[in-house]
């Protein structure tokens, strides 16, 4: 649990501030000592009285408290904390944090904190998607701060989409898994690829495949449950992320997936590459819709970069690389060739000849082949159970 952990909870001006009451209650119940710092705007959404009653500590808002004559020392607050959590984190506070601005007690205490910092954004869909916000989030991650991914659903504006603050229960689970040594992947960063890629032909058409992303998303969820911080790079997929320990990066093409993988690869301990990446992409993408004219029509294609092979060439000692092989013939030989060619530690073979294996299904049937050519064959299982098997094997490889 969070016994004895000192947590600064920063609450910003967002409608999701109402969730701060449940959050404080759950943190206290888990054994944490909670010091709430609110921004001036947060006070309009939920009263300090509510949060101070639940946290059993006066809530701090200003550097100087005129009623008591007390000066709140931001440096002491920053150093006192074992964990610093900002939830809800508004776009404005994220921007200040990313730029080192400290015009209020919360952002000044943040700048003084030496402990792990978690932030749970809450804002409207368009604010969340704005390049300025995305840049700020990336910058905070580059400082080592941990994003608690917002959820998708109905937003206070009436719009539907991403931007909802993660639920208090999920946030507390994440903090517990971060401090709890019994989670085998605690402190590990893992990158997962999932889904298909779409290679544009013209503004309305693309070359794609039937991958649904179900396997990769199930793997990401399982790794996060085991305590890992997961970066999930997904091609177009209708799957949703549930665990707040997963940061989702959406891409469309093989080239975009390559870029996202290269950006993240150096800092991760392991990769599980389950995406069905296009092997070929059109040489030219028409800028206008191609009109139907001739009876036959050819599209010239060029090879995409093999992302997994590129990572295999760059792999540093200690990094674990797991790939997939979806085969229809010579399954085992093809999988072993890929294992060798791509410098993998493990390859997960699924054969389309096995009933219950393949795209879009909720089940899969796999054989794992490791570097020493040890084969482990599993029964047909749900993709969640298959993800747990893969996760167990990864934990062994990382030990
Ligand atoms: N892969 C990749 N980048 C590509 C193609 C494949 O990272 N451009 C990865 C997949 O994510 C998977 C593994 O390589 O983990 C094997 O993919 P697969 O499509 O089975 O094999 P290919 O190497 O593309 O070979 P082929 O299509 O000829 O079977």
* 326 in contact with ligand 1, CB cutoff 6 A: yes
- Tell me the domain boundaries of the chain: 6-180, 189-282+300-398
**At 63, is the secondary structure helix, strand, or coil?**
coil
Task: List the single range of 124-128, 322-326, 353-357 with lowest mean pLDDT.
Answer: 353-357
Instruction: Please report the atom of ligand 1 found closest to the CA of residue 325.
Output: 20
* 307 in contact with ligand 1, CB cutoff 6 A: yes
Beta bridge partners of 272: 192, 322
Q: Is 350 a catalytic residue?
A: no
Confidence band of 99 (pLDDT split at 50, 70, 90): very high
pLDDT at 357: 75
**pLDDT at residue 185 greater than cutoff 80:** yes
* 347 in contact with ligand 1, CB cutoff 6 A: no
pLDDT at 181: 66
Tokens representing residue 389 in the block: 């098997």
Give the fold, CATH level 3, of 189-282+300-398. Answer: Rossmann fold (3.40.50)
Task: List the single range of 16-20, 79-83, 320-324, 356-360 with lowest mean pLDDT.
Answer: 356-360
pLDDT tens for residues 137-183? 999 999 989 999 998 877 777 777 788 999 999 999 889 888 876 78
CA of 333 to the centre of ligand 1 (A): 15
The secondary structure of 100-151, three-state, reads CCCCCHHHHHHHHCCCCEEEEECCCHHHHHCHHHHHHHHHHHHCCCEECCCE
**pLDDT at residue 366 greater than cutoff 70:** yes
pLDDT at 177: 81
Measured CA to CA, the distance from residue 217 to residue 362 in angstroms comes to 12
Helices 214-225, 383-398: inter-axial angle, 10-degree rounding: 50
Instruction: Please report the atom of ligand 1 found closest to the CA of residue 324.
Output: 15
pTM above 0.85, yes or no: no
Give the fold, CATH level 3, of 6-180. Answer: Rossmann fold (3.40.50)
Instruction: Please report the atom of ligand 1 found closest to the CA of residue 261.
Output: 7
CA of 236 to the centre of ligand 1 (A): 17
Confidence band of 369 (pLDDT split at 50, 70, 90): very high
- How far is C-alpha 267 from the chain's CA centre? 14
* 196 in contact with ligand 1, CB cutoff 6 A: no
* 312 in contact with ligand 1, CB cutoff 6 A: no
- Average pLDDT score over residue span 95-110: 96
């Amino acid at each position: 649990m969070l016994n004895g952990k000192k947590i600064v909870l920063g609450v910003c001006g967002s409608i999701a501030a109402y969730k701060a009451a449940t959050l404080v209650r759950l943190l206290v119940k888990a054994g944490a000592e909670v010091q709430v710092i609110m921004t001036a705007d947060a006070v309009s959404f939920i009263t300090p009285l509510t949060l101070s009653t639940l946290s059993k500590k006066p809530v701090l808002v200003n550097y100087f408290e005129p009623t008591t004559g007390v000066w709140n020392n931001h440096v002491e607050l920053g150093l006192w904390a074992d964990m610093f959590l900002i939830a809800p984190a508004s776009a404005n506070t994220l921007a200040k944090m990313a730029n080192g601005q400290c015009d209020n007690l919360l952002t000044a205490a943040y700048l003084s904190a030496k402990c792990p910092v978690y932030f749970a954004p809450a804002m409207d869909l368009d604010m969340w998607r704005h390049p300025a916000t995305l840049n700020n989030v990336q910058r905070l991650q580059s400082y080592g701060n941990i994003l608690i991914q917002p959820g998708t659903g109905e937003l206070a504006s009436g719009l539907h989409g991403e931007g909802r603050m993660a639920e208090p229960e999920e946030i507390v689970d994440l903090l517990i898994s971060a401090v709890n040594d019994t989670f085998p992947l605690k402190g590990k960063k893992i990158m997962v690829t999932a889904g298909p890629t779409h290679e544009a032909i013209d503004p309305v058409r693309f070359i794609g495949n039937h991958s649904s992303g179900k396997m990769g998303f199930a793997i990401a969820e399982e790794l996060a449950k085991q305590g890992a911080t997961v970066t999930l790079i997904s091609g177009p997929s209708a799957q949703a992320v549930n665990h707040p320990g997963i940061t989702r990066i959406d891409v469309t093409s093989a080239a975009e997936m390559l870029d996202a993988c290269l950006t993240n690869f150096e800092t991760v301990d392991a990769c599980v590459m389950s995406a069905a990446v296009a092997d070929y992409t059109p040489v030219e993408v028409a800028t206008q819709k191609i009109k139907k004219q001739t009876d036959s029509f050819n599209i010239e294609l060029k090879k995409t970069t093999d992302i997994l092979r590129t990572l295999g060439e760059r792999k540093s000692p200690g990094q674990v690389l797991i790939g997939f092989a979806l085969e229809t013939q010579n399954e085992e030989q093809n999988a072993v060739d890929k294992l060798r060619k791509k410098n993998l530690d493990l390859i997960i073979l699924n054969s389309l000849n096995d009933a219950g294996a393949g795209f879009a299904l909720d089940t899969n049937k796999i054989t794992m082949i490791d570097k020493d050519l040890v084969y482990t064959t599993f029964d047909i299982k749900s993709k969640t159970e298959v993800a747990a098997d893969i996760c167990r094997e990864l934990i062994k490889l990382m030990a």
